[in-house]
C-alpha cells in the first residue's frame, strides 16, 4: 500500500538507509555482540555514552526496549513512575511498565508533554505502607504527543534534582533527543545532565533501520545487560546495525535543522486554511499536529485525498492528524504536501454548524 506513497509524513521512522549508510553497514567490522566482541557495537556504545555524558551505554534493538529495561532496572514490584499523560511509555508500549517491571504510572496532565519540577514534586508520594513507592520520574525529549516540544535544559536539571532529593531515579526517553539538541543549540549531554538513564533512538530522525542506545552509570548498564539478555535482545553480529548508528551520528544530526524548517514550512502553509488549527503554534522540531474538527472533511477523508497524490499523513482520530518530517522528505516535498493539503481544505470549506 505504501508503494504509491512518495511523501510519507506518518512518522520519522519511515526513513530507509541512504547509500552512504548502507556502504558503512557493508564495511562494518563485526563480532559476537553477546560476548562483547563486536567492535562496531562497542564503538557505538562508547560514542553514545560520551555524547550523553554518562559512564556506559548499551545497544538495544528498539527504543521501547530501552525504556522497558530502564524501568526493570530502576523499579521493583509495586513501584510508581511519574510521567506525562501523553508519554509514549504510558500509552504506546503495551503497558510494558506494568506487564514487565510491575510498576504503575502516576500521570501529570500537560498541554505539551512538559511538566515542571514543582508538578513532579507534587506527584511524589509521601512514604506510607499503603502507598505505592514513587520511584522514577520519566521525561520524553522531545515530547512526541506534545507536538515535538523541547524541554528546557533548566527544567530537566530541576526535575533530576527533585528526583534525587526524594530518592527517585530520573529517566529520559530521548527518542528525539538529537532533535531537541539541534533545535535548542545545546549539546545532548546538557539535556541529560543529572539523569540516571537516558537513550537515543537510531531509527527516528537519525535515519537508521534499527536500534536504540541506552546509557547510564556502569552499574546501571551492567544490570541492563542482564535484562537485555533475558528479554532476547542480545545479538550476534549486530555491528552491521551499529555501523549505521555510527554513520548517522557523523552525518545525520546537524541536518535535523532542515527537518525542523520543513515542518515549519508545512505548518505555515496549512495554518490559515479553513477548519484547521495547527499545534503547536510555534513548531519547535519535526512534529506537527492538525485539528481538523472545523473542516467539512474528517481526518480519514483528508488522508484519503492526500493519498491519491502520493502523500501520507498520520490519522490519530476523526479530527486529529499528525505530520512528521524526516530525512526522506525534502524541502520541496514538504512545501508540496502543505500546498496540496491547504488546497484540499480550501475546496472542502469549513464544517457547517
Considering beta carbons, is residue 12 or 269 the nearer one to ligand PLP?
12
203 binds ligand PLP (CB under 6 A): yes
Angle between helices 63-74 and 218-230 (to 10 degrees): 110
Binding of residue 212 to ligand PLP (CB under 6 A): yes
Cβ-based nearer residue to ligand PLP, 212 or 314? 212
Instruction: Kindly tell me which of 64 and 184 has the beta carbon lying closer to ligand PLP.
Output: 64
- Report the SS3 class of residue 342: helix
Going from the C-alpha of 312 to that of each of 35, 44, 303, the distances in angstroms are 42, 33, 7
Of 87 and 120, nearer to ligand PLP (C-beta) is 87
For residue 199, what are the CA distances in angstroms to 23, 36, 54? Answer: 25, 20, 10
Closest residue to ligand PLP in the complex (CB): 63
* 8 Å CB contact between 216 and 55: yes
Question: Is the Cβ of residue 175 or residue 215 nearer to ligand PLP in the bound state?
Answer: 175
Diameter over CA atoms, the chain? 66
DSSP label of 102? -
Our finding on whether 259 is near ligand PLP (CB under 6 A) is: no
Query: Which three-class secondary structure state does DSSP give residue 198?
Result: strand
Q: Least separation, in Å, of the C-beta of 291 and ligand PLP?
A: 20
Residues 38-67 that bind ligand PLP (CB under 6 A): 62-64
Q: What are phi and psi of 222, to 5 degrees?
A: -60, -45
Closest approach, Cβ 167 to ligand PLP, in A, equals 25
Q: Which of 38, 79, 112, 173 binds ligand PLP (CB under 6 A)?
A: 173
Residue 57: closest CA among 253, 326, 246: 246
Distance CA 166, CA 226 (A): 27
Judged by CB under 6 A, which of 72, 82, 88, 348 binds ligand PLP? 88
State yes or no: residue 80 binds ligand PLP (CB under 6 A).
no
According to DSSP, the β-strands at 133-140 and 169-174 are: parallel
Give yes or no for residue 140 binding ligand PLP (CB under 6 A).
yes
Q: Report, in Å, the least distance between residue 256 CB and ligand PLP.
A: 15
Task: Catalog residues that contact ligand PLP under the rule CB under 6 A.
Answer: 62-64, 88, 140, 144, 173, 175, 201, 203, 212
Amino acid at each position: 500500500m505504501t508503494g504509491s506513497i512518495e511523501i510519507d509524513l506518518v512518522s520519522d521512522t519511515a526513513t530507509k538507509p541512504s547509500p552512504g549508510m548502507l556502504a558503512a553497514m557493508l564495511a562494518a567490522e563485526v563480532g559476537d555482540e553477546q560476548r562483547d566482541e563486536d567492535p562496531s557495537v562497542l564503538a557505538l556504545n562508547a560514542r553514545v555514552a560520551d555524547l550523553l555524558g554518562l559512564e556506559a551505554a548499551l545497544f538495544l534493538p528498539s527504543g521501547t526496549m530501552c525504556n522497558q529495561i530502564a524501568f526493570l532496572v530502576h523499579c521493583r514490584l509495586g513501584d510508581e513512575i511519574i510521567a506525562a499523560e501523553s508519554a509514549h511509555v504510558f500509552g504506546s508500549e503495551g503497558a510494558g511498565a506494568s506487564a514487565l517491571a510491575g510498576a504503575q504510572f502516576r500521570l501529570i496532565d500537560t498541554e505539551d508533554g512538559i511538566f515542571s519540577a514543582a508538578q513532579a514534586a507534587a506527584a511524589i508520594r509521601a512514604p506510607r505502607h499503603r502507598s505505592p513507592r514513587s520511584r522514577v520520574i520519566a521525561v520524553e525529549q522531545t515530547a512526541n504527543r506534545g507536538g515535538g516540544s523541547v524541554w528546557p535544559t533548566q527544567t530537566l536539571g530541576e526535575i533530576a534534582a527533585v528526583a534525587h532529593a526524594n530518592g527517585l531515579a530520573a529517566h529520559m526517553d530521548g527518542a528525539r533527543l538529537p532533535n531537541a539538541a539541534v533545535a535548542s543549540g545545546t549539546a545532548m549531554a546538557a539535556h541529560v545532565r543529572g539523569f540516571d538513564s537516558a537513550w537515543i533512538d537510531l531509527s527516528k530522525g537519525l535515519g537508521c533501520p534499527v536500534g536504540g542506545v541506552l546509557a547510564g552509570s556502569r552499574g546501571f548498564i551492567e544490570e541492563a545487560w542482564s535484562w537485555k539478555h533475558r528479554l532476547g535482545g542480545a545479538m550476534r553480529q549486530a555491528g552491521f546495525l551499529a555501523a549505521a548508528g555510527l554513520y548517522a551520528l557523523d552525518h545525520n544530526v546537524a541536518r535535523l535543522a532542515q527537518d525542523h524548517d520543513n515542518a515549519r514550512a508545512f505548518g505555515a502553509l496549512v495554518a490559515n486554511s479553513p477548519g484547521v488549527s495547527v499545534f503547536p503554534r510555534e513548531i519547535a522540531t519535526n512534529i506537527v499536529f492538525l485539528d481538523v474538527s472545523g473542516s467539512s472533511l474528517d481526518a480519514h477523508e483528508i488522508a484519503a485525498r492526500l493519498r491519491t497524490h502520493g502523500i501520507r499523513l498520520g490519522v490519530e482520530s476523526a479530527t486529529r492528524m499528525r505530520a512528521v518530517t524526516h530525512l526522506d522528505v525534502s524541502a520541496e516535498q514538504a512545501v508540496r504536501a502543505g500546498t496540496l493539503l491547504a488546497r484540499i481544505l480550501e475546496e472542502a470549506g469549513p464544517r457547517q454548524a
